[in-house]
């Protein structure tokens, strides 16, 4: 459309029986092996360029009959003994060349068909959410022509099959690159009716009925229409697709069209099998695709640094978290700090951070046969619901997801933003009941339900001290907590109650205020549970693909202060010697877990002991120690800004001047001190 809303003049409106009014400008790309050439042309009386795509069609029996006949002129090129090479000039009706004309063509069209060196990208889930998806959303690629087709506003005469189901249906037509005549180069396209699937990355098990239809009905429609057996039909999906509305390509198996290569196409049957085995396969998988240097997506990845040839090997302790000055990251961590104090619901006192922390601990009490690390990360990232314009989790999830992703991309490095966006999207899909087929997804949904049951029980218990725990025990049994078998088979709740008693005792950390803040008379100070929450969240942030060795730091973080539910928060001002404090904490922790099954108790004890021991070679424990001290001074700065009492928490900054050991957290410390000085200089 023009700026005035008028449709621009097109060569197609006045086309006659000859190529009049078109002049060759330049060859964009010549694919000799495919007998195809892409040309930029000028159109008479039009300021807009045209693109002409010329294809030599495959030979058929009819065209061969016309070529091998007396009407074909023959010119000798070379003769040698029994070998001869000739130039054949058949009648025009047997010498057909297919021409696709795009006019008016945009610069995007010209770029698409211009020769450019290709590069491979191996896109992880983090790269998708951190680099590719932001690019797609920023560019806002138009698919209005797709909607016109699906709404029967255009190309209705080309439709060869339709399943009109708005959720699982599709429409099929010959691809624009096929003339619809000979089956040797058969090429059809099926476009789905639903409009919420952009690409492979959006697929999950809920889309299997749609994919089954595309597989069975799509092939049958082609067989019925063109007589090609289904075993000779190749059905596949492109990644990256040429446009972001889900569609499937169908071609003759004997034909090798562009885009059928391994780094771009995914067989439909394989896609279905992957989703049957793992409902979130395409949310988690590493997918390859080709980008050319002329494309904007290549430039986006280039700016991110993906194509750097020399990658410096960095020791774990020297990992850099971000390349800029880190201020955005610290601002984001302060946003997360709000989850420490923001109630997670209208009737709950428990905050987002405290609830996320308890869910993470609940996950650690599940059988070790499941991916507890993933469940813990989902639990902690659920706190991102506190971000955005509305904290109520009953808000529209599509709006919430977009708000959270926008914040992540604005404040965090791409890979970290991608990691958190992928986890929060998974959390939201499970919460909405759209992703519950894998055991981890079922368990995580159950953990969310269990947390809500506990929250309601805690609230009702205020007015009814003897309130039964039956509903909690029943849900724990469903989730296979230790003792579930005896509870389900023999109605014996004893072992299950021991697990529940452990959970309820550590839940007191959601009320225990941090001693340092209380002593300094900070208004409404954070709890021990919320302190461990943000430390755990830092661990999730560090556990992206470039620093997977940091994953354990998340688990250690959510465990390290649990003994304080029995001995309280002991600070240096309590004048307890370090060795005595360590002994008290270890004794308290072992007392906490002594009634748990041995395997569960050890799974909790090992991370706690690693933090306490701070073994020189245990890098995750060292990183967690840095998280502990940094969260303290970051929280101190947040309280200084809120309380408006000057640098009244200076003692916390003094005590941590030289304690940090990891490069990334040292950098955070330096940036935080600069931000603090700037803040108070502005206050003067």
DSSP state letters, 380-434? HHGGGGGSSS---TTS-HHHHHHHHHHHHHHHS-HHHHHHHHHHHHHHHHHHTTS
Q: Count structural domains, the chain.
A: 3
Check whether residue 404 and residue 363 sit in a common domain.
yes
- Domain annotation covers residue 107: no
Which domain range does residue 192 map to?
Answer: 116-304
Check whether residue 394 and residue 499 sit in a common domain.
yes
Check whether residue 548 and residue 639 sit in a common domain.
yes
**How many Cα atoms sit within 13 Å of 435 on the Cβ side?**
22
- Give long-range contacts, CB 8 A cutoff, 24+ apart: 25-32: 25/49, 28/110, 28/113, 28/114, 28/115, 29/113, 29/114, 29/115, 30/115, 31/258
The residues pairing with 42 across neighbouring beta strands, listed in sequence order, are 23, 49
**Which single residue is written with the structure tokens 């045209």?**
50
Check whether residue 324 and residue 282 sit in a common domain.
no
CATH number at residue 195: 3.30.428.10
CATH number at residue 339: 1.10.3210.10
- Domain annotation covers residue 188: yes
Predicted confidence band at 546 (pLDDT cuts at 50, 70, 90)?
Answer: very low
- Domain annotation covers residue 311: no
How many CB atoms neighbour CB 128 within 10 A?
22
User: How far is Cα 677 from Cα 672, in angstroms, rounded to an integer?
Assistant: 9
pLDDT value of residue 548: 46
Check whether residue 82 and residue 129 sit in a common domain.
no
- Domain annotation covers residue 309: no
pLDDT, one tens digit per residue, over 323-361 is 566 899 999 999 999 999 998 877 888 999 999 999 999
User: How far is Cα 538 from Cα 588, in angstroms, rounded to an integer?
Assistant: 26
Structure tokens at 675: 């931000």
Phi, psi of 555 (to 5 degrees): -65, -45
Check whether residue 606 and residue 511 sit in a common domain.
yes
pLDDT, one tens digit per residue, over 570-616 is 888 888 888 899 999 999 999 999 999 888 999 999 999 999 999 98
Predicted confidence band at 310 (pLDDT cuts at 50, 70, 90)?
Answer: low
In contact, 527 and 342? CB cutoff 8 Å? no
Alpha carbon distances (Å) from 259 to 209, 263, 615: 26, 9, 53
pLDDT value of residue 64: 83
Check whether residue 464 and residue 581 sit in a common domain.
yes
Structure tokens at 436: 């519950």
**Which of 53, 155, 55 has its CA nearest to residue 112?**
53
Check whether residue 92 and residue 128 sit in a common domain.
no
Check whether residue 644 and residue 594 sit in a common domain.
yes
In contact, 248 and 218? CB cutoff 8 Å? yes
Reply yes or no on whether the pLDDT at 645 is more than 60. yes
Check whether residue 239 and residue 321 sit in a common domain.
no
- Catalytic residue numbers? 247
Check whether residue 79 and residue 138 sit in a common domain.
no
Q: Kindly state the average pLDDT of the residues 19-39.
A: 83
- Domain end, chosen from 277, 304, 331, is at 304
pTM for the model: 0.79
In contact, 160 and 174? CB cutoff 8 Å? yes
- Domain end, chosen from 280, 304, 328, is at 304
Check whether residue 132 and residue 272 sit in a common domain.
yes
**Which single residue is written with the structure tokens 């793992």?**
278
- Domain annotation covers residue 329: yes
- Domain end, chosen from 69, 102, 135, is at 102
pLDDT, one tens digit per residue, over 210-262 is 999 999 999 999 999 999 999 999 999 999 998 999 999 999 999 988 788 88
């Amino acid at each position: 459309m023009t700026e005035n809303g008028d449709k621009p003049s097109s060569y197609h409106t006045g086309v006659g029986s000859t190529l009049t009014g078109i002049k060759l400008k330049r060859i964009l790309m010549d694919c000799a092996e495919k007998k195809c050439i892409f040309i930029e042309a000028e159109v008479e009386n039009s300021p807009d360029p045209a693109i002409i795509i010329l294809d030599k069609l495959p030979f058929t029996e009819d065209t061969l009959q016309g070529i091998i006949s007396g009407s074909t002129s023959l010119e000798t090129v070379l003769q040698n003994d029994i070998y001869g090479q000739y130039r054949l000039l058949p009648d025009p009706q047997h010498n057909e060349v297919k021409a696709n004309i795009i006019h008016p063509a945009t610069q995007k069209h010209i770029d698409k068909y211009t020769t450019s060196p290709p590069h491979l990208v191996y896109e992880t889930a983090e790269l998708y959410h951190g680099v590719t998806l932001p690019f797609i959303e920023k560019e806002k690629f138009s698919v209005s022509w797709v909607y016109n087709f699906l709404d029967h506003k255009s190309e209705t005469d080309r439709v060869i099959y339709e399943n009109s189901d708005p959720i699982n249906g599709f429409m099929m037509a010959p691809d624009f690159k096929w003339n619809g005549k000979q089956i040797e180069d058969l090429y059809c396209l099926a476009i789905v009716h639903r409009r919420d699937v952009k690409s492979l990355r959006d697929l999950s098990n809920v889309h299997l009925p749609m994919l089954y239809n595309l597989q069975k009905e799509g092939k049958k429609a082609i067989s019925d229409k063109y007589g090609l057996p289904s075993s000779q039909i190749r059905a596949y999906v492109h990644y990256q697709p040429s446009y972001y509305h889900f569609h499937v390509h169908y071609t003759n198996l004997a034909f090798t069209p562009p885009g059928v290569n391994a780094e771009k196409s995914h067989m439909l049957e394989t896609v279905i099998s992957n989703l049957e085995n793992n409902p979130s396969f395409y949310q988690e998988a590493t997918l390859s695709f080709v980008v050319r240097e002329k494309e904007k997506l290549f430039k986006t990845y280039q700016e991110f640094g993906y194509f750097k040839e020399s990658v410096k090997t960095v020791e774990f302790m020297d990992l850099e978290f971000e390349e800029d000055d880190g201020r955005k990251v610290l601002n984001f961590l302060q946003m997360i700090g709000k989850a420490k104090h923001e109630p997670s619901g209208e009737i709950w006192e428990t905050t987002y951070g405290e609830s996320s922390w308890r869910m993470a601990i609940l996950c650690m009490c599940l059988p070790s046969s499941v991916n507890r690390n993933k469940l813990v990360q989902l639990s902690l990232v659920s706190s991102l619901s506190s971000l955005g314009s509305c904290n109520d989790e009953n808000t529209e999830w599509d709006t919430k997801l977009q708000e959270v992703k926008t914040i992540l991309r604005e404040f965090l490095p791409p890979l970290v933003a991608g990691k958190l966006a992928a986890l929060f999207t998974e959390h939201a899909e499970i919460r909405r009941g759209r992703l519950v087929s894998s055991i981890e997804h079922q368990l995580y949904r159950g953990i969310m339900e269990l947390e809500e049951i506990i929250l309601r029980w805690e609230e009702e218990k205020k007015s009814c001290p003897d309130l039964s725990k039956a509903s909690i025990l029943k849900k724990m049994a469903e989730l296979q907590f230790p003792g579930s078998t005896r509870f389900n088979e023999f109605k014996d709740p004893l072992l299950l109650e021991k697990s529940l008693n452990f959970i309820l005792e550590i839940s007191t950390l959601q009320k225990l205020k941090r001693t340092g803040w209380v002593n300094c008379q900070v208004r409404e100070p954070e709890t021990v549970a919320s302190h461990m929450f943000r430390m755990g969240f830092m661990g999730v942030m560090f556990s992206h693909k470039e620093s997977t060795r940091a994953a354990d730091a998340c688990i250690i973080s959510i465990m390290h202060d649990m003994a304080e539910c029995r001995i309280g928060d002991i600070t240096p001002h309590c004048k307890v010697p370090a060795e005595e404090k360590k002994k008290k904490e270890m004794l308290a922790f072992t007392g906490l877990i002594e009634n748990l099954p041995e395997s569960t108790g050890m799974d909790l004890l090992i991370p706690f002991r690693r933090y306490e021991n701070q073994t020189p070679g245990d890098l995750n424990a060292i990183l967690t120690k840095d998280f502990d001290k940094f969260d303290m001074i970051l929280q101190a700065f947040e309280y200084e800004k809120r309380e408006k009492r000057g640098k009244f928490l200076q003692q916390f900054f003094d005590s941590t001047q030289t304690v940090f050991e990891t490069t990334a957290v040292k950098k955070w410390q330096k940036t935080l001190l600069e931000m603090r000085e700037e803040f108070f200089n502005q206050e003067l």
